[in-house]
Structure 1
Amino acid sequence: MTQEVESLGWAVLIAGAVMAAALVFHPVSERIRVPAPAFFLLAAAVVSDLVPGLRTIPLDMVQRLVTVALIFVLLDGGASLGWRRLRPSLAAASWMGLGGTVVIAAATGTLAHLFLGLPWEPALLLGIALAPTDPAAVFSALGRKEIAGRSGTLLNGEAGLNDPAGIALLTAVLELGGRTGGAAVGHVAWVFVEQIAVGTAVGVAGGLALLRLLRRVRLPGQGLYSLSVMAGALVIYGVATVAHGSGFLAVFTAGVVLADRGVPFEREIERFHDALSSLGEIAAFTALGLTVTLADFDNLGAWGDGAVMAVITLVLVRPVVMMLMLRPVRLRTGERVFLSLTGLKGAVPILLGSFLLTEHTTHGRSLYDIVFVVVAASILVQGTLIPWLARRCHVSLRSTPLRPWPLGIRFRSPPTGIRRYRVRPGATAQNTRVDDLDLPADVWIALVIRKGELLTLHPDTRLDAEDEVVLVTDPESEGPDDGVAQVFGAA
């Protein structure tokens, strides 16, 4: 009994120490411009070599842990986008995230067959594992900056969609069962479409049901609302998976549906799930790093093969494919170049690699190690260069300083007559006196927040781009707000 308690104590101690080190490394990561996920991944791999006992963790347990972590990462990713922000770019993001995954997987697999001499099946599986990108790695590389405009929406939307697409594609190929030729292509296409269609349908239905539940059911404490969303995400993932759909896509879609829809304790829910997503990121990269044995890499030649695939994937395939796919999308050339070169690899490729490790007995280990090297190279090299690349491509990076002091008012029922806008660059309201704004008679400006500070309002106060404006209207006369939204550039 004493020995078991002591073993549990050591396990808790190690887990807490790893988490504390990960949290402490975030400001260091921002200072030295090395994305935090690189530290989690590589540090865990080194620790697993130094402490052989950590290698005994079953791989299937790691896969389950990472799967749960990714549920919360994708839920938060969908919620951070929201339907209003994603809707204008949905077609382009779907084209990049779904169609791009298929094309990149096929091209990468073909080149892996030619350059590494792999048979077609493992080469294609490797291409699929390396196709998805990771939004957590991208935004960790940016620190407290976010990509402004449509580029940020497309990058986040693509990553949210191509993670489920990559998993659906890998599932379809692993279930071929000896099919070849047209039968194999037909099976893969059917399973892929089924996963995406069912996942989307369950995500929309589950998100709307959860929204209705949060609005109708009165819970005794505000923390229970955040837990309800967490439980709802797990249910949505489970229902989609059991129905042969993509559970990850269902969760991401539910997050998009829930965002900006006005639920009780909305800000508290956002903060809780943002923290849960950060914890999921740390847990996923750390757990996956523990599955790698760096000491064996020289014997398996993974460093060399991984370097070759890193060049093929990061420098050749994705840039060329994305530049071609983005031609019909209304973007500047600089934005196209930026999006083509910033698809960082992360936890999902390694998770897919772990499935190859368990499902493909002949080449599983070598494929998994190659994936690890490519992901490490992507985070270290691509991630470090993102701020520089954004400047070269003239893509705006908007600072998002920490704002630890909130100002809020609680109501017993959903508030009406309150609207909140951000002044977009080039909007009518920019550099316009408050008294001269073309607003209806029943609309008043209550608050203006500039660079995180509350602004004292006078009739001659001029609004700047990125100012946050809170309006109060007559609830009885509320109607379409397109005219007001256009003043601030939000329509």
Structure 2
Amino acid sequence: MNADELDRYLLIGSAVLVLAVLAVRVSLTVGLPSLLVYLFLGLVLGSSGLGIEFADANLAHALGFGGLVLILAEGGLSTKWEHVRPNLGYGLLLATLGSVISIGVVSTGAHFLLGLDWELAVLLAAVLTPTDAAAVFSVLRTVPLRHSVTGTLEAESGLNDAPIVVLVVAISAGSAMDHGLWGLIGLIVFELAAGFAIGIAIGWIGATGLRRVALPASGLYPLVVFAIAVLAYGAASALHASGFAAVYVAALVLGNTELPHRVATRSFVEGIGWLAQIGLFVMLGLLASPDELHWWHVGHGLAAGAILTFVARPLSVAACAVWFKRDVPEQVFVGWAGLRGAVPIVLATIPLAADVPGSRDLFNVVFVAVVIYTLLQAAPLPRLAAMCGVLSDEARDVEVEAAPLERVSADLLQIHVPGGSKLAGVEVGELRLPVGASVSLVVRDGTTFVPHRTQRLAIGDDLLIVTDRSVREQAEARLRAVGRHGRLAGWANKDD
């Protein structure tokens, strides 16, 4: 690549990024999922549009996996453990048993109804089954759902990629049944368990180290946190474990640890997550060739998506929900909210890169199914959430940003009072912070002042609190308790 080519790529890339960011606003206005806008941008730029040629399946496979790693890292870092913990079993069961049921139903339908041979039928079912973390996380940011629902969907979408990747790679390589069915199941279980263990270990080591080391610049903390999460993926992959499970679990550990500049870190990784989504979907749009699409692809995509959406997904959710006594309306919503996005298309590049017979047709069928059913499922989600009674009416949690104060064992907390918080109207003295923590400054409408004990807080206030490191967790817990339950919140509510 020479300097002129680099300049041209930078021009095109930056222009696409600006358009993609603007498209987020447009997609929210018209109710169109932003990922479809990114795919459309890729199609416009591709061989059927402006003529940019991109047909390297191996590169698409590598870039796709890289994008998924970044998206899973962002998802884990922004997920609250307190929401996932009570629902982890349900989410994990959906990611494993639920996936098995979906693959069985869809592959049977693809073989007997669509006439595909068993290898392509199972590949199609496996590729379409996992929910997409990027699509699910983006929906959860805009629809205020009950914690039981968000925790379930986050856990499922964060964990179901791992076993499916093992299965698709094994089938594409022709080694799926080398050691029999139980050997394949054992391999999937080992990779998933080892990925979990590696993710927990690296996440804990990284979090412990960051709490004890004061870096010279605040901007370094987001970089290190993100690098540790990606390190978990690389370490697990090197040890032949599930890198996807490792990166999500490591990010989950890091995101739920009291780290310096936590809010800034989450903002940084959210931006990286958006960048990964944009790059991933545009790249997949470039890889697709609308000129190659025939009515056969459209028909099979519609049929396979229908079997998955209206038969396989509801059955898998019902089979898993029975163990956790979830009511039927919640099952309906969880079943419908299992959005597909980049993950199925990325997985479809695995057999394409391996040159499996019929893989190009498989890719086109998956592309059609993802585009149509993502649009179909995403649009009515807010209304369906209200109909199923899974919307949350809880006040938003207070936002806490922390920075270490060097030379002393203390932290500076920046607290933002969001809309709906019951901190509004509470006097500073009524916060009853632990000894060693005090409100030093309040920023309101651009004006700063030192509050007195009878000063009442208001929505939109930013508080600066200096706290001894030994009572920092108590101070944060107290602030969150008051934010949720008001001035009469007792210490017993600190873990609510």
Inter-CA distance 421–186: structure 2 relative to 1 (3 Å threshold): farther
Matched, 1:69 2:63: no
1:369 and 1:103 map into 2 onto residues whose CA distance is 24
Count of equivalent residues: 481
Matched, 1:311 2:306: yes
2:11 and 2:298 map into 1 onto residues whose CA distance is 33
SS of equivalent residue, structure 2 residue 339: coil
1:292-333 CA-partner distances (Å, limit 9, x unpaired):
11111117x111110111111112210222123112324343
Matched, 1:368 2:363: yes
Aligned to 1:192: 188
- Range that drifts further, 280-289 or 408-417: 408-417
Alpha carbons 1:128, 1:170 under 8 Å: kept: yes
Aligned to 2:328: 333
Inter-CA distance 472–415: structure 2 relative to 1 (3 Å threshold): closer
Alpha carbons 2:75, 2:137 under 8 Å: kept: no
Aligned to 2:221: 225
Choose which of 234, 241, 244 in structure 2 pairs with 1:248: 244
Inter-CA distance 38–119: structure 2 relative to 1 (3 Å threshold): same
1:92 and 1:178 map into 2 onto residues whose CA distance is 27
Inter-CA distance 23–267: structure 2 relative to 1 (3 Å threshold): same
Inter-CA distance 29–140: structure 2 relative to 1 (3 Å threshold): farther
SS of equivalent residue, structure 2 residue 180: helix
2:4 and 2:394 map into 1 onto residues whose CA distance is 46
Inter-CA distance 285–330: structure 2 relative to 1 (3 Å threshold): same
2:453 and 2:137 map into 1 onto residues whose CA distance is 37
Choose which of 400, 411, 422 in structure 1 pairs with 2:405: 411
Aligned ranges 1:55-204 → 2 under 5 Å: 55-141=53-139, 144-177=142-175, 179=177, 183-204=179-200
2:229 and 2:452 map into 1 onto residues whose CA distance is 42
Offset at 1:156? 1.3
Aligned to 2:270: 274
Inter-CA distance 272–131: structure 2 relative to 1 (3 Å threshold): same
SS of equivalent residue, structure 1 residue 328: coil
Offset at 1:437? 7.8
Inter-CA distance 178–147: structure 2 relative to 1 (3 Å threshold): closer
Offset at 1:238? 1.2
1:206 and 1:394 map into 2 onto residues whose CA distance is 39
Aligned to 1:347: 342
Letter of the 1:38 partner, please give it. Answer: L
Alpha carbons 1:168, 1:192 under 8 Å: kept: yes
Offset at 1:479? 9.0
Offset at 1:490? 3.9
Inter-CA distance 133–142: structure 2 relative to 1 (3 Å threshold): same
SS of equivalent residue, structure 1 residue 201: helix
Offset at 1:226? 2.0
Letter of the 1:219 partner, please give it. Answer: L
Aligned to 2:485: none
Inter-CA distance 109–410: structure 2 relative to 1 (3 Å threshold): same
Structure 2 unaligned blocks of 5 or more: 482-488
Alpha carbons 1:423, 1:489 under 8 Å: kept: no
1:311-370 CA-partner distances (Å, limit 9, x unpaired):
111122102221231123243432221111110001111111111212253110111111
Letter of the 1:283 partner, please give it. Answer: G
Letter of the 1:112 partner, please give it. Answer: A
Alpha carbons 2:39, 2:282 under 8 Å: kept: yes
Aligned to 2:286: 290
Inter-CA distance 192–276: structure 2 relative to 1 (3 Å threshold): same
2:431 and 2:227 map into 1 onto residues whose CA distance is 45
Offset at 1:127? 0.7
Aligned to 2:235: 239
Inter-CA distance 7–232: structure 2 relative to 1 (3 Å threshold): same
- Range that drifts further, 221-230 or 124-133: 221-230
Letter of the 1:198 partner, please give it. Answer: A
Inter-CA distance 396–437: structure 2 relative to 1 (3 Å threshold): farther
2:29 and 2:210 map into 1 onto residues whose CA distance is 40
Alpha carbons 1:144, 1:400 under 8 Å: kept: no
2:461 and 2:186 map into 1 onto residues whose CA distance is 48
Offset at 1:416? 6.3
Alpha carbons 2:260, 2:401 under 8 Å: kept: no
2:161 and 2:433 map into 1 onto residues whose CA distance is 45
1:356-410 CA-partner distances (Å, limit 9, x unpaired):
2122531101111111111111221111111121121122167999x9x998776
Offset at 1:434? 6.6
Alpha carbons 2:153, 2:334 under 8 Å: kept: yes
Letter of the 2:65 partner, please give it. Answer: T
Alpha carbons 1:139, 1:146 under 8 Å: kept: no
TM-score (norm 1): 0.84
SS of equivalent residue, structure 2 residue 294: helix
Matched, 1:205 2:201: yes
- Range that drifts further, 50-59 or 244-253: 50-59
Aligned to 1:380: 375
SS of equivalent residue, structure 1 residue 290: helix
1:185 and 1:244 map into 2 onto residues whose CA distance is 19
Offset at 1:185? 0.7
1:217 and 1:124 map into 2 onto residues whose CA distance is 49
Alpha carbons 2:126, 2:164 under 8 Å: kept: yes
Q: Could you say what the CA RMSD is over the residues aligned between the two structures, in angstroms?
A: 4.1
1:128-162 CA-partner distances (Å, limit 9, x unpaired):
10111113213435664443422111111110011
